[in-house]
Structure 1
Amino acid sequence: MSYLKNSAAWRVLFLIASGLVMSCGFHLRGSFELPADLTPVYVQPGTAISAALMERLRNSQIALTDQPATAAFSVRIVNEERQSRIVAVDRDGKALAYELSYRVQCEAQRRDGQVLLPLQTITVVRMFDDNPDVAVLGKQLESDLIYRDLIADVADSLLLRLRAALMVKTTTPSQSH
């Protein structure tokens, strides 16, 4: 292993490993690529999921616009909903566990009206144990953190669905008559 002490050998090993990882199609979580003809992107603002989507697109160096008319395609958030329900109680009827859910209905289409992603619903659910020893403020903070994770999961899922739809649209041969 003395040959790996040489910094040049480490560099070569790193380059080979990087090349292998890149060639297998690996992408960092949350990263997203678009064909040049599909930028800039308009994401309908005003919801938590919109903010998460825009953050992920910015982090992937995707151009965004706040004008739908100038966008190559638009993501429209039709509905966003948070729900909480009790799933376990103790013998006194006090809540012991909750189910938190976050649901988004959305669609995406090109400026010319071509549907990239038809209207669909994405729902994620998590369990939340209610610890009676924790103050109400701590429970609310934990609930808010769980919802933030749920929103991030939906944003990632939406981008994965959009990526898959774009791959299908670009690899499907056009039919001419």
Structure 2
Amino acid sequence: MHAQVQIKRFPQWLLMVAAAVLLSACGFHLRGAADLPFKTIYLGFPPNSPVGVELKRNIQASGATVVDDAKEAEANLKVLADSRDRQVLTLNTNGRVREYALFQNFSFSVTDAKGAIIIPPTAITLRRVITYDENQELAKQAEETLLYRNMQSDLVQQILRRLSASKTAIKNEKAAADSDS
């Protein structure tokens, strides 16, 4: 009897092992720290900016240092625009709001210590849709705050990916400068 149960479970075990092998072979891995092409950076955010605080924390976690003086930094991130917006998306039959579209617009540029452009002016626009119910006002305000916080984290990750991608641009510029001299 016990042997029959083991025989019936063998295909299940085989399927689980095959799934584990396939998942490990697909290239999936957790996102690690960003591989930034500089050791120091100046962030042009106001001191109390939530995006600036989160970006600073992520940059420091990647091993780079955020400095307070732009002259001491290898890279200088300049904030060109940072705004949030909420627009009515749909109305119900009574003319009351059913959905809002939440927007986070951010644009920036990055230069090196000499003023050469590493990342030209770049705009990032994030959008989330939220349903609205006037009977659940407090819950919907909390949901909106949570969505803006989620958009902020997404924005920081996109900025970090663009900073990491600039590594190849910096290498290409250095190679071109070395070949000219």
**TM-score of the aligned structures, taking structure 1 as reference length:** 0.77
Greater mean alpha carbon deviation, residues 163-172 or residues 89-98? 163-172
> Pairwise mapping of residues 46-65 of structure 1 onto structure 2 (< 5 A)?
46=46, 47-65=49-67
Counterpart in the other structure of 1:42: 42
* 1:83–1:102 CA contact under 8 A, matched in 2: yes
* CA displacement 1:12-69 (0-9 Å, x = unmatched): xxxxx9xx99xx795625x21224xx22111112233222211211222321111111
As a proportion of its length, which structure holds more helix?
2
Percentage identity across paired residues of the two chains: 18
Q: 2:102 aligns with which of 85, 100, 103?
A: 100
Counterpart in the other structure of 1:176: 180
Aligned length: 153
Counterpart in the other structure of 1:130: 132
Counterpart in the other structure of 1:90: 92
Over 3 Å counting, the alpha-carbon distance change for 1:27 and 1:176 in structure 2 is farther
Over 3 Å counting, the alpha-carbon distance change for 1:110 and 1:27 in structure 2 is farther
* 1:102–1:150 CA contact under 8 A, matched in 2: yes
Gaps of 5+ in 1: 1-16
- Whether 2:143 is the aligned partner of 1:139: answer no
Kindly name which structure, 1 or 2, has the bigger radius of gyration based on alpha carbons: 2
* 1:50–1:77 CA contact under 8 A, matched in 2: no
Counterpart in the other structure of 2:8: none
Q: Distance in 2 between matches of 1:67 and 1:139?
A: 41
Q: Distance in 2 between matches of 1:64 and 1:150?
A: 23
- Partner SS state of residue 112, structure 1: coil
- Partner SS state of residue 95, structure 2: coil
* 2:89–2:101 CA contact under 8 A, matched in 1: yes
* 2:39–2:63 CA contact under 8 A, matched in 1: no
Gaps of 5+ in 2: 1-20
* 2:91–2:98 CA contact under 8 A, matched in 1: yes
Over 3 Å counting, the alpha-carbon distance change for 1:122 and 1:25 in structure 2 is same
Over 3 Å counting, the alpha-carbon distance change for 1:69 and 1:121 in structure 2 is same
- Partner letter of residue 154 of structure 1? L
* 1:76–1:107 CA contact under 8 A, matched in 2: yes
How far apart are 1:158 and its partner, in Å? 1.4
Moved over 4 A (4+): 24-27
Q: Distance in 2 between matches of 1:55 and 1:168?
A: 24
Counterpart in the other structure of 2:18: none
* CA displacement 1:145-173 (0-9 Å, x = unmatched): 11111111111111111211222321463
* 1:73–1:110 CA contact under 8 A, matched in 2: yes
